[in-house]
Amino acid sequence: MTAVAAPRTDPSYRPFFPAVAPVAPGCPAPLAPDAVALASRLRQRDLSCEEAVRDALERVGRDDGQYSCFLGLCADRAVEKAREADRRLSGLAADEARHAFPFLGVPAAVKDNLCLEGVRTTCGSRMLSSYVPPYTATTVSRLEALGAVVIGKLNMDEFAMGASSETSFLGPVRNPHATDRVAGGSSGGSAAALAAGFVPLSLGSDTGGSIRQPAAFCGVFGLKPTYGAMSRYGLVAYASSLDQPGPLARSLRDLSVLFPGLVGRDPRDATSRAPSPPPVPDAPRAGVPEEYLAASTHPALRAAVSEAVRRLEAAGIPVLPLSLPATRLCVPAYYILASAEASSNLSRFDGVRYGHRSAAGETLAERCAASRTEGFGLEVRRRILLGTFVLSAGYQDQYYGRAQKAREAIREEFRRAFGTVDFLVTPATPEPAFRIGEKITDPIAMYSQDICTVGPSLAGLPALSVPAGHTAEGLPVGIQLIGPAWSEAFLLAMAQRLAEVPA
Amino acid sequence: MNRGTGHSLVCGLEIHVELATRTKVLCACPNRFGAEPNTLACPVCAGLPGALPVLNAEAVRLAVLAGLALDCTIRSRSVMARKNYFYPDMPKGYQITQYEEPLCVDGSILLDDLPGGPRRVRIERAHLEEDAGKLLHDAFGTGTLVDLNRCGVPLLEIVGAPDLRTPEEARRMMEIVRDRLEACGVSDCRMEEGSLRADVNVSLLDEATGQFGTRVEIKNVNSFRAVERAVASEARRQERILGAGGRVVRETRLWDDGRGESRPMRRKETDDDYRYFPEPDLPALRIGPEEVEALRRRLPEFPAERRRRYRDEMGLLDADALLLCRPPAVARLFESACAAGASPRAAADFLRVEVFRHLNRAGLDPADVPFGGESLARLLAAVGAGRLAPVGARRVLERMFEDSGAAADPEGEAERQGLLIRSGGVGLDDLARRVAAAHPAACQDLRAGKEKAFSFLLGQAMREARGGADPKALAEALRRVLSGPGHESAGLTGPAEQAGGKGDPA
Ligand SMILES: [Zn+2]
């Protein structure tokens, strides 16, 4: 199918569809290419879990000054957990260990909006700079139940609001592929820590692209699951109807092993559900929505989609062009709905009940206002104000109400598309990683970064960000595979097919 | 309520009922009143970042049951919503409630027992929501502290239509709602503990123009009597203002029951903007028709019907029927006593006089009665058969509250205590002889024709019998003994007691 995209021999694009993504050039080689390989080394007692975890902590300590992937390490806890893993390994046959704890002793890290009992959880905000949760997020518990050892908390845009990880109160995450570039956001630390080789696995959260876009910018895999697949209990809420935790990894097989262990109904999250995957199609068909191609401002992204199309066709998978006109509604609907929910979710942070408390102000109202002004960064304040406005009496129908209708239309459009094709191939981002500071003062430019990713978020659909090569300057570019609800395993299989086609 | 001012009263109640679930509405904390502050709180109650609510299915069931008890339609799909506002007792910064799509709609109840005859009033809606915490002002000399125990207690907010026309109707509506919800066990409905609360909305209708006046809301109305008084007081206040050519201001007022008047709490020039939107953390609430019907079958008889039945079918006086038709524990005790053979009137008398007296004195609740109606029926059977006098029955009743053995066998207990009436013949004669022998002077006086002496001797005999004798039978025995020959030697007779025991059933 050649009508779909621009010629794939664009001089700005160098195709590369790895099944295991390498760390960024110049970063020290990791102990193993991916988590599955490392877990296997640990099971063979080739090295101990404690050594692996100490190695990760040392790498972070030595090199993270360049990237700011981490907001905090929990070294003592991690070493303790690693020793536990070593004890457990010595009591298990390798085969048993592989089944019960597929990542036993493998260092991992989680985005700093996922609660870990007794470990500071800041959401990248001054507001929560001293918050230590008394409980652990379900998703983090599940990661640990697979044997992984959490070594620390990862940097992010403040309260997950942003597409560049520049709004963190402790400073921006730098892209290991080019440190003058952003790592993407809001899960910038989660993606960059993999690209830098600090850990092979991480958890992020995705509200409008916050896993997929940084994964694309950093050249790693990132999965935004079906809404409800992974528990949100213990994920500090930004926009509850859109937020979804998800895994990032350097290999497809890591995600294939990791994801089933993270999903499932959680009695503490009423929106979580047991997975119900659709039947796997015998002869899958792909679609390329023209609106997503048109949204890509950099030719390398369009070329990457063309290359993906060529590979799919070479693998015998037909690719159809199609149109999703409601795509133009995605970004406005997303910003209205997400901001509305955020304005409510963040109202508890006022320095009275939670969060940074200002010394300024005489009355309660003044004190709250001062605390919120000091505690929140500009972008968070902008979204709280926007969200409060769109929910206000007299404006609610015009904004929030219409955005809800748009969301329904977007959902319906995806439903129809999946009547024709089994998955969609789009660019993961409009352009590769931009320069730090380039868009931070231009909210509209920043918001339009989300054009490729907010659609599946609004529709609650799973989407996988797949490394697809580089620009001429060596910046990673990524494509996105979108499927119907609960098609994660199928999307991972399709990505594997892409990687297996000879270049 | 036209008092010649050309205005009539328009009143509507918003009633909050705490649902008697085991756990709170959005988390697994126990739903309990009166615990130490902040001992019933978890990350969800405290609104900790990342914590999520999960709707308690039991709360939904009780809310549906309550809706059915108020003759509401139960909507198959309803939506939880966020009501955003700031108050320090609400940790999340919003309340989880229902707004555009409530669970129960379009109900009504019949107000009976009114001077003007029964009247039907509408219930606009009843919806499920969470309660807020409680502020403790200066309880520990440290300024205001927050107790989160009440956070997340399930509430049903019942919104009555502005159909009430007199203060008495307002009170009656509260009572009927209480009666019905208490009967289905959805709440203990204790206004003094705040498990039943009312906000009262009052305005005046200009009868000449048909124009509705400005509505004033009164909060903190904490008893049935206060509902009636608050409505009457507010109507008078508004009449005074209008009578003086003034304008009623839209506001919320706080009822001060001690002073019998309300005072302004806050002015409301415009509606508060709560920025309601559907709660994204909770999926829409769906209830199938089968589930609703199953709950409808669980609806009990309500006190009003029960009162009619007690009166018309069981022959109670209306006053007794009213007294026994609620709370449920009382009705249960009464009915199980009747079912076990007690005569309804005797059971009613005994409950009204003896059981209630004991409960009052001991400061107990009807639900605390440790025995069932069968025990009561056994006790009443002994009284009815003349084997136990009322005074003795009271003593046995007291024991029944303390001792399950006594409750299981009241007559045996009476016997152990020597309270059984020595019925007729030898036993009583024996006692009479003993008394006569102990008081020869009185016997002398009686023979001399001084009837007062008989009263004295009877009194002594009653004391001796410790309530275990029927006064009439004892008086007869005394007459018999005193008029008979050789009574002076009474008391020395041998124990030829208890007739019966002969003639084994072969
Ligand atoms: Zn709780």
Same domain? For B171 and B117 the reply is yes
Amino acid at A265: R
Q: Which of B275, B282, B286 to mutate to test the interface with A (most CBs of A within 10 A)?
A: B275
- B213 within domain boundaries: no
More confident residue, A467 or B467: A467
Contact A233 B94 (CB under 8 A): no
Pairing of strands B134-137, B144-147: antiparallel
Q: What is the DSSP letter of B38?
A: T
Q: Considering just the CA atoms, what is the radius of gyration of chain A in Å?
A: 21
pLDDT tens, position by position, A216-270:
999 999 999 999 999 999 999 999 999 999 999 999 999 999 999 999 999 999 9
More confident residue, B451 or A336: A336
- List, in sequence order, every beta strand (DSSP E) within B259-372: 261-267, 277-278, 285-286
Contact yes or no for B158/B196 (Cβ under 8 A): no
* Domain boundary residue, one of B373, B389, B416: B416
Q: What is the DSSP letter of B100?
A: S
- B446 within domain boundaries: yes
Q: Which residues contact B369 (CB under 8 A, 6 or more apart)?
A: B329, B333, B355, B359, B401
What are residue A320's DSSP bridge partners?
Answer: A287
Chain B segment 94-113 residues within 8 A of A by beta carbon are 94
Note if the bond before A358 is cis, omega within 30 degrees. Answer: no
Contact yes or no for A491/A462 (Cβ under 8 A): yes
3-class DSSP state of A70? strand
Q: Is it the case that residue A428 has pLDDT exceeding 60?
A: yes
Cα separation of A378 and B413, whole Å? 81
Contact yes or no for B107/B218 (Cβ under 8 A): no
HSE-up of residue A466 (Cα within 13 Å, Cβ side): 32
Cα separation of A111 and A245, whole Å? 9
Q: What is the DSSP letter of A33?
A: S
- B231 within domain boundaries: no
Same domain? For B363 and B476 the reply is no
Q: Which residues of A touch B54 (CB under 8 A)?
A: 267-270
Same domain? For B84 and B193 the reply is yes
- B255 within domain boundaries: no
| Average pLDDT of chain A to the nearest whole number | 95
Among chain B residues, the shortest Cα distance to A396 is held by B275
pLDDT tens, position by position, A469-503:
999 999 999 999 999 999 999 999 999 999 999 87
- B354 within domain boundaries: yes
Name the residue facing B54 among A133, A270, A396 (closest C-beta). A270
Q: Which residues of A touch B43 (CB under 8 A)?
A: 133-135
- The residue segments making up the domain with residue B380 are 303-416
Same domain? For B37 and B109 the reply is yes
Contact yes or no for B169/B137 (Cβ under 8 A): no
The two tokens of residue A227 are 């809404």
Same domain? For B185 and B60 the reply is yes
If one counts the domains in chain B, the total is 3
For chain B, helix, strand, coil in percent to 5 are: 40, 20, 40
Q: What predicted TM-score, i.e. pTM, was given to this entire model?
A: 0.88
- B182 within domain boundaries: yes
Cα separation of B417 and B414, whole Å? 5
Rounded to two decimals, the ipTM of the complex is: 0.95
Q: Is it the case that residue A281 has pLDDT exceeding 50?
A: yes
Same domain? For B143 and B49 the reply is yes
Q: Which residues of B touch A269 (CB under 8 A)?
A: 52, 54, 281
Cα dihedral B211, B214, B217, B221, rounded to 10, equals: -60
The position carrying tokens 């997503």 is: A292
Contact A350 B93 (CB under 8 A): yes
Nearest-CA distance from B87 to chain A in Å?
A: 10
The alpha carbon dihedral of A403, A405, A406, A410 has a sign of positive
- B433 within domain boundaries: yes
Question: Per CB distance under 8 Å, which residues of A are interface residues toward B?
Answer: 113-115, 121, 123, 128, 131, 133-135, 137, 232-237, 239-241, 267-271, 340-341, 343-344, 347-350, 352-354, 368, 388, 391-393, 396, 400
Cα separation of A106 and A82, whole Å? 8
In tens digits, what is the pLDDT along chain B, a chain of 506 residues? Answer: 444 568 999 999 999 999 999 999 999 999 988 889 999 999 999 999 999 999 999 999 999 999 999 999 999 999 999 999 988 889 999 999 999 999 999 999 999 989 888 999 999 999 999 999 988 886 666 678 889 999 999 999 999 999 999 999 999 999 999 999 999 999 999 998 899 999 999 999 999 999 999 999 999 899 999 999 999 999 999 999 999 999 999 999 999 999 999 999 877 656 679 999 999 999 999 999 999 999 999 999 999 999 999 999 999 999 999 999 999 999 999 999 999 999 999 999 999 999 999 999 999 999 999 999 999 999 999 988 888 888 889 999 999 999 999 999 999 999 888 888 765 555 677 788 888 888 888 888 888 888 888 888 888 888 877 766 777 778 888 888 887 654 443 333 333 333 333 334 33
Residue B60 CA, ligand 1 centroid: distance in Å: 17
How far is CA B404 from each of CA A178, B371, B396, B399, B468, rounded to the nearest angstrom?
83, 7, 12, 9, 22
Cα separation of A425 and A293, whole Å? 10
List residues, by chain if needed, whose CB lies under 5 Å from ion ligand 1. B 27, 29, 42, 44-45
Residue A230 CA, ligand 1 centroid: distance in Å: 22
Of the candidates B13, B108, B127, the residue with the CA atom closest to the CA atom of residue B59: B127
Amino acid at B439: H
Same domain? For B274 and B386 the reply is no
Active site residues of A: 111, 186, 210
pLDDT tens, position by position, A75-113:
999 999 999 999 999 998 888 888 999 999 999 999 999
* Domain boundary residue, one of B416, B441, B473: B416
Q: Which residues contact A129 (CB under 8 A, 6 or more apart)?
A: A122, A169, A356
The position carrying tokens 């799973």 is: A462
Contact yes or no for B113/B171 (Cβ under 8 A): no
Contact yes or no for A157/A165 (Cβ under 8 A): yes
The two tokens of residue A56 are 């990760």
Same domain? For B275 and B388 the reply is no
Give the H/E segment covering residue A216. helix A212-218
Task: Provide the percentage of residues in chain A whose pLDDT is more than 70.
Answer: 98
Same domain? For B382 and B452 the reply is no
Same domain? For B271 and B411 the reply is no
pLDDT tens, position by position, B114-167:
988 899 999 999 999 999 998 888 666 667 888 999 999 999 999 999 999 999
Q: Which residues contact A426 (CB under 8 A, 6 or more apart)?
A: A288, A289, A292, A293, A305, A452, A479, A480, A482
Same domain? For B464 and B484 the reply is yes
pLDDT value of position B430: 77
Cα separation of B23 and A328, whole Å? 46
- B216 within domain boundaries: no
Q: Which residues of A touch B29 (CB under 8 A)?
A: none
* Domain boundary residue, one of B416, B435, B466: B416
Angle at A371 between CA A368 and CA A375, to 5 degrees: 140
Q: Is it the case that residue A6 has pLDDT exceeding 60?
A: no
The two tokens of residue A195 are 């690209």
Same domain? For B384 and B446 the reply is no
Of the candidates A421, A411, A423, A418, the residue with the CA atom closest to the CA atom of residue A491: A423
